[in-house]
Chains A and B, each alone.
Chain A
Amino acid sequence: MQRYSIFSLARNALTGHRNWPQAWRSPAPKPEYDVVIVGGGGHGLATAYYLAAEHGIANVAVLEKGWLGGGNTGRNTTIIRSNYLWDESAAIYEKSLRLYEGLSRELNFNIMLSQRGVLNLAHNEHDLKEMARRVRAIRGNGIDSEILTPAEIKKLVPAINVSKDMRYPILGASLQRRGGVARHDAVAWGFARGADDRGVDIIQNCEVTGIDRKGGRVTGVRTTLGPIKAGKVGVVVAGHASVLADMAGFRLPIDSHPLQAMVSEPIKPVLDCVVMSNAVHVYVSQSDKGELVIGAGIDSFNSYAQRGSWQIIEGQMGALVELFPVFSRLRLMRSWGGIVDTCPDASPILSKTPVEGLYFNCGWGTGGFKATPGSGWAFAHTIARDEPHPLNAPFSLDRFATGALIDEHGAAAVAH
């Protein structure tokens, strides 16, 4: 792997940037691997990276039916934070945030992490009380979180409307200063390059169409490039989790829904933190290019169509211009959708399954980008040791039978 540095940049500038090597190989699949990862989004690539980097398991293939990061990883609004209510969630999301903080260096790839702060607005008495409780719980877990008054919010975000005659006036906010955004493609590409460098085969345009089993144990996968044998298989396909579970003969507590995002035309810097509101239901940040990046909720119905409904966009635009009247004259440039895998308790599943040697990582729904490194790290451990790490043990499939759900609807109410 050619390391990226100021010197390699200068050297390649001298030759007109024509001699950069490919960031990863594109090999033909081998007939057999120790581990096959299905899904080349951020979580799948992170899993492969940590399998090789932390567990010395490098005879690994990542099979992606499209292109790397072409699923939710490349479609999300990139908000990163760890201000979740319950201890189990706090632990895994905070692990992820800490990995993010060192990731550009670890991967030698600039993931453009910008810890610009994430603000969650409160619009009524109940929001305020709930927020106070939440901030205390978060701080109790050693995670930074603080409460701001409307005057402090206005100071931090001058463009926001804190007047009392809004329909849902802003009464306060919680702020996680270490929260922020990162470049989504870079996260996928950085993990891909790091994994490839350690010997992982990354195979794009390869769709898994079947999961082979013998005597209750996984033996390999069928793909559009032919059968591939595998000692273990890790499935990390987000919105398609139920489809892959069906191939292995079981069901998941997951529904697939469209989630949309959109960007405005680029404007001069106006917003330097992330603003989210559960109550009026919208969130917004400003990209380095100057576009406002806007998102909100899922479409109610099940779908695999990667497009959502118009009235969802209309609703969140109403909320946005109420919070920021100055945005009302902006035009939207693009909108798109991804298919998110929602779970009944708004928490993910990183788990062994009824099939031996087959592992599923899914259910991140509307909020898994922030978890990408932590999820890959814990899932790699689960696959390598055939048992969950304490970080992801609470997120196993059997919690739906034991009843030990991890209800994070409060933390995940706005899709983010």
Chain B
Amino acid sequence: MLLIHCPWCGPRDESEFGYGGEADIARPPDPDALSDAEWADYVFMRTNTKGRFKEQWVHIHGCGRWFTLVRDTVTHEHGEAGVFGGVEPEADG
């Protein structure tokens, strides 16, 4: 079981979280302009990195918020969580 640091709630067991897969897969701004192959690349193709991998988690049985983590997919070592849209975690209290 991973010990994951939610930016808002601190370290919690992995079983409190939902997994959101690879991060930074942005919806193409103009889908109609894409070929089928480009659309398939967006919808299906994944980098699936062995090593340092940026991914998304949601604290589903906690605060319910999404965040990103850079985790090594071999050792599971990970650093600080990142937040979307620059929303900083609020101070405790």
Contacts and interface: CB of A to CB of B under 8 A. Distances in A.
Interface of A: 240, 242-243, 246, 251-256, 300-305, 309-311, 344, 400-403
Contacts of B46: 242, 251-255
Given A255-B21, A310-B1, A401-B36, A305 B76 contact: yes
Given A305-B76, A401-B36, A255 B2 contact: no
A305 B45 contact: no
A311 B1 contact: yes
Given A255-B46, A304-B50, A309-B15, 5 more contacts: A240-B50, A254-B46, A302-B53, A303-B73, A311-B1
A254 B73 contact: no
A304 B52 CA distance: 11
A253 B47 CA distance: 8
Nearest to A315: B15
B55 A302 contact: yes
B50 A301 contact: no
Nearest to A397: B40
B2 A304 contact: no
Contacts of A401: 36-37, 39-40
B47 A301 contact: no
Contacts, number: 72
A256 B2 contact: no
B15 A311 contact: yes
A243 B14 CA distance: 26
Nearest to B69: A301
Contacts of A253: 40, 44-46
A365 to B, nearest CB: 13
A408 to B, nearest CB: 16
A255 B55 CA distance: 12
Given A251-B46, A253-B46, A310-B1, A305 B40 contact: no
A302 B44 contact: no
Contacts of B2: 301, 309
Given A242-B47, A252-B48, A304-B74, A309 B14 contact: yes
Contact of A251 (B19, B39, B43, B45): B45
Interface in B36-93: 36-37, 39-41, 43-50, 53, 55, 71, 73-76
Nearest to A306: B74
A401 B44 CA distance: 9
Nearest to A403: B36
15 contacts: A243-B50, A246-B47, A251-B41, A251-B47, A252-B46, A253-B46, A254-B48, A255-B21, A301-B14, A301-B55, A301-B71, A302-B55, A310-B1, A311-B1, A344-B44
Contacts of A402: 36
B26 to A, nearest CB: 16
Nearest to A343: B44
A311 B22 CA distance: 22
Contacts of B76: 303, 305
A255 B1 contact: no
Contacts of B1: 309-311
Contacts of B50: 240, 242-243, 256, 304
Given A251-B41, A251-B46, A254-B48, A302 B14 contact: no
A156 B93 CA distance: 60
Nearest to A301: B19
Nearest to B47: A251
Nearest to B37: A401
A296 to B, nearest CB: 15
Interface string B18-37: 11011000000000000011
